[in-house]
Amino acid sequence: MKIVIVSLLFIFSVLLGGDEIMKYNELNAEEERVIIHKGTERPFSGEFYSYDKSGTYLCKQCDAPLFNSEDKFDSNCGWPSFDDEIDGAVNQIKDADGVRTEIICNNCGAHLGHIFAGENYTDKNIRHCVNSISLNFIPEKPKFETAIFAGGCFWGVEHLFKKVEGVTDISVGYIGGDNEDPSYKEVCSGTTGHAEAVKIVFEPEKVSYEELVKLFFEIHDFTQVNRQGPDIGKQYRSAIFYTNEDQKETAKTVIKILINKNYSVATSLVEASKFWDAEEYHQDYYNKTGGNPYCHIYKKIF
């Protein structure tokens, strides 16, 4: 009888608003067993049972936000546990056994698990016991990110990036070589493999990594190999040292734009290794000396 009722409800919902159903995510057989037919995954087997990253948990079927990571706690019950929900995201209905209370997604009705009270795990005294398989996860966007660029003498690169709104900190140093904690004299010898570079801490909400990459190409001559103006040597090479795969793909996209504009791009794209801070007298050099960059001039390209 229950199957018949569900089938009838499905038919009516298709007739009344079938377009909405088509927007739901496709489920595999195991996901459907839990989410649609109210099954339960094996304890301690779920992806998010001991997951501790910051972000938001979403409904696997419709992507509606359900729980925040800050409300997740370890109950040692075998399933992810939350002592709170996002307002209005979860609905409670009496379970078929007449004892427990089921929780479902308030947006699409997907089965999530059950809710329990009075166990004293947390001050809120509530436990949403949720199947991992009912959830997706979106990590929290970092408030700050790091970008590393090498474009000739690091004094000029630093000076021009310091003017960008959203850049909260910038330092000059060395990266890409073999020597540990190299000195300026060692790097200038050309034997360390390091490049003079800048490490930039920025707020993605104020300035995007793509904007920084484009500015990087607009403040130095990226067509030159192992030099920048009068400065010659591998330590003055043009390079982007990416810190994650998103940065890598963004940089590749910008480089393709330059190639399509008929530029010859000598800039290398390298996974970031350890960045070694340069000596203190190199930091914020032009503000200290009152000088101006001698081989870095802004040229609009994009």
User: Using one digit for the tens of pLDDT, what is the confidence trace for 41-74?
Assistant: 999 999 999 999 999 999 999 999 999 999 999 9
In a domain, 153, yes or no: yes
Question: In this structure, is residue 88 part of a structural domain?
Answer: yes
Same structural domain, 155 and 251: yes
What is the C-alpha R_g of the chain?
Answer: 27
Token readout for 93 is 């209905």
> Could you tell me if 151 and 273 lie in one domain?
yes
Residue that is last in its domain, among 95, 118, 139: 139
Which amino acid, 256? K
Encoded amino acid at 251, one letter: A
210 by DSSP, 3-state: which?
helix
Residue 105 and residue 169 share a domain? no
Q: pLDDT band at residue 96, thresholds of 50, 70 and 90?
A: confident
Pair 47, 160 in one domain: no
153 and 239 inside one domain: yes
Domain end marker among 87, 112, 139: 139
Digit-coded pLDDT (tens) for 190-215: 999 999 999 999 999 899 999 999 99
Q: CA angle 111-115-116, nearest 5°?
A: 160
Indicate whether 302 belongs to any domain. Answer: no
For residue 165, report the phi and psi dihedrals to the nearest 5 degrees: -65, 130
Q: How many domains does the chain have?
A: 2
In a domain, 110, yes or no: yes
Q: How would residue 295 be classed by pLDDT, with cut points 50, 70 and 90?
A: confident
Distance CA(207)–CA(47), nearest Å, equals 34
Do 79 and 129 belong to one domain? yes
| Residues annotated catalytic, as ranges | 129, 153
Both 109 and 130 in one domain: the answer is yes
pLDDT value at 255 more than 90: yes
Buried b vs exposed e over 128-140: b needs ≥16 C-beta within 10 Å? Answer: bbbbbbbbbbeee
Return all residues near 244 (Cβ < 8 A) that are at least 6 apart. none
Q: Residue 218: inside a domain, yes or no? A: yes
Pairing assessment for the beta strands 167-175 and 195-202 based on DSSP bridges = antiparallel
Average of per-residue pLDDT across 165-189: 96
pLDDT in tens, 220-233: 999 999 999 899 99
Quick check: helix, strand or coil at residue 32?
A: helix
Strand stretches in 95-141, DSSP E? 101-105, 111-117, 126-130, 135-139
- The reply to whether 99 and 30 lie within a common domain is yes
Exposure of 192 by Cβ count < 10 A (0-12 exposed, 13-18 middle, 19+ buried)? Answer: buried
- Domain range for residue 174? 145-289
Q: Is 162 a domain residue?
A: yes
Based on the fold, state whether residues 190 and 62 are members of the same structural domain. no
Task: Give yes or no: residues 152 and 117 share one domain.
Answer: no
Q: Which token pair is 217?
A: 């190409």
- Centroid of chain to Cα 9: 40
